[in-house]
A and B are shown apart, each in its own frame.
Chain A
């Protein structure tokens, strides 16, 4: 496959700015949660597949571009108040980090999966919020912890998973990325760390906007105990998958 067109195509699926608009617009256009989750899982895998068919490692300037894209979207996520858009921005930011790690291309698919899994689960949780409250936006001042405590707990865990909290899979992907890049490309390792801290900051802002503050308990707003347990099991599975990914990468 010709190298430059291959990279251009890969830049669509492991989105680099400005091609990232395709993914962001596409994700926003999808109405069903499961479709969004599926896209979050499959989209980067297509990019990995394309990248694996390119000849040689991506040129240095492309790595710089990818690092800047990761930083740009992590920074933009700080000011995002809508959970769905925030997940999209974090996804672009996360997948862009994969560009700088061509040496272990045989594990790239697992790394991409590790980054996508928490995003896919989070999008399912925000879908529940959107159905019950019309939107998952901080401007609604939901005070979820009072309005719907079970949903609030799941939302907090989902956000924590997205911002690469141990023992979710993206934590291990980031640690592995820093471990490989710090000795050879310290600037790239520092970029990963900067992106990581920006995610944590933006995630905490979202949690504060959605969960904290006064709210009125409303009948039917919260999940049923059975549904909450189903999601809890999903998160336990996600943590288990995280440890497995950690075992493979570290």
Chain B
């Protein structure tokens, strides 16, 4: 297994070197080397996964010293499979997609290097190894986004990405420094063992080490996963080649969820940080979703959609559902990767014929004009609220009966209930020739999704965190006390129900036609369309800093 994990990391490096060496001789055919290398890596990852299932237990491989360490554990094995699988698909897609582009061989070299670095990152067993890989992901993404070298704007937005990633690297360097200072080792397994043995260890100013380190790691995760205020790079990097967008959205932006999982033994000692993570994730999920709806540019909207998903993934970590976040990042990666890789074909076909029938569904989804038939609405409202709740509770009850004892799980159930209710409510507002059939189809889909999601999430939980006591500790750390939890639940329910009522009565009494409401909506829409002015503010700060540096250089001259 040791040789296998090393082989998985080294194979893309070798294919990168061979691709560069033979590019002059083989021309466009050089991509085959890269694809063969990645196929071998993916096969190796599958084999490693099978071996880990057959022989459970963590293993480390030291590449020299205390800091060059690779770790074979369920998390690294699952992530290696995901990274190599997605990368292989991107390689296969790029072979033809990039054929007319300049820098064909360079693109595959960078893609191979990125894969090697991502695999090193997920298998890093030492803090320095993790730092190296974490840092290099940002650098390589910068180069991949700047693939179109004639475009200075591509470099501009690639720089935004790199700068945000670099900002996110720095808290992790500090976290590594403090953990190393406390336990005199760079090895993650030793650090986690020492922290479990001495959870009260303190650091700067007598603060708990676990809390400080967890907060710093969380900051790094936020920057990488485009959480609110560090998100501006994500929607603006759509100018890069489509395969890079696919890789970025499927395998890079979700690294925040991986990082929090990797440091799970630190986070179980830092419940307060988990609450903060939940709040940041929640804000990001809401902001990303709202900003997505306000964009006219489809690619930008996709970027904000990813931001919203990342917010939800981070939120899952905040409620203690760590393994669910991993499942989420994989599901989102596959889903969003497919969307990006298919976007070119869809756009091409839509230019000829959009093939959208101008029926009720079109007017509802595109023109946002719901059909006005709502009888018997009271019955529908009851069904809307009751059906998802029944499905969700039954699914979880069948899979894991103790699930309801965990606050984090209840939060997710609540979210699932609201989403399901919204879905059924939307169905009710649509006009259809066969409403029973439409409703039944949606109900079946919802049930399949919920049961599938519950089963898979539970399996992930068992695989990634086999120790039930540790699983309970994660949920325990994320808990906030029964009274606070109940109060919050009531408050959130109240806000949602109030929102629904306002929407309903606003529509009934034509509230939206009034001038002051219209003005308010326009201002809100402008703020959203301008992305809450966050990018503008950053741009202004950057220009001021550059102007200051120029003035300083003019004043000081050659000093």
Residues in chain A near residue B545, CB distance under 8 A: 75, 78
Contact partner of B553 (CB less than 8 A), chosen from A79, A181, A189, A247, is A79
Residues in chain B near residue A156, CB distance under 8 A: 143
Stretch at the interface among A5-13, A46-54, A210-218: A210-218
Residues in chain A near residue B546, CB distance under 8 A: 78-79
> Whole-angstrom distance from the CB of B145 to the nearest CB of chain A?
11
Contact partner of B549 (CB less than 8 A), chosen from A78, A145, A246, is A78
A222 to B491, CA, bound (A): 66
Whether the pair A208, B143 counts as a contact (CB closer than 8 A) is no
Known contacts A207-B155, A212-B150; A76/B549 CB under 8 A: yes
A182 contacts the other chain (CB 8 A)? yes
Whether the pair A166, B163 counts as a contact (CB closer than 8 A) is no
Residues in chain A near residue B64, CB distance under 8 A: 247
> Whole-angstrom distance from the CB of B138 to the nearest CB of chain A?
9
Residues in chain A near residue B135, CB distance under 8 A: 165-166, 171
A170 to B34, CA, bound (A): 31
Whether the pair A189, B549 counts as a contact (CB closer than 8 A) is no
B152 contacts the other chain (CB 8 A)? yes
Contact with A along B151-180 (1 / 0, CB 8 A): 110111001001100110010011011101
Contact with A along B536-559 (1 / 0, CB 8 A): 000000000110111011001011
Residues in chain A near residue B24, CB distance under 8 A: 225
How many residues does chain B have at the interface if contact means C-beta atoms less than 8 Å apart?
A: 49
A186 contacts the other chain (CB 8 A)? yes
Q: Is the interface of A mostly helix, strand, loop or mixed?
A: helix
> Whole-angstrom distance from the CB of A174 to the nearest CB of chain B?
8
Whether the pair A146, B549 counts as a contact (CB closer than 8 A) is no
Looking across the interface, which residue of chain B has its beta carbon closest to that of A167?
B132
Whether the pair A197, B146 counts as a contact (CB closer than 8 A) is no
Residues in chain A near residue B549, CB distance under 8 A: 75-79
Interface residues of A in 142-177 (CB under 8 A from B): 143, 145-146, 149, 152-153, 156, 160, 165-167, 171, 175
Contact partner of B552 (CB less than 8 A), chosen from A75, A214, A215, is A75
Whether the pair B128, A183 counts as a contact (CB closer than 8 A) is no
A80 to B549, CA, bound (A): 9
List B residues at the A interface (Cβ < 8 Å): 24, 64-67, 103, 106, 128, 131-132, 135-136, 139, 142-143, 146, 149-152, 154-156, 159, 162-163, 166-167, 170, 173-174, 176-178, 180-181, 186, 203-204, 545-546, 548-550, 552-553, 556, 558-559
Please name 24 pairs of A and B residues whose Cβ atoms are closer than 8 Å in the assembled complex, sorted by A: A72-B552, A78-B549, A79-B546, A145-B103, A152-B149, A153-B106, A166-B132, A166-B136, A167-B132, A178-B173, A178-B174, A182-B177, A182-B181, A182-B204, A183-B178, A183-B203, A200-B166, A201-B163, A207-B155, A211-B149, A212-B150, A213-B151, A250-B66, A250-B128
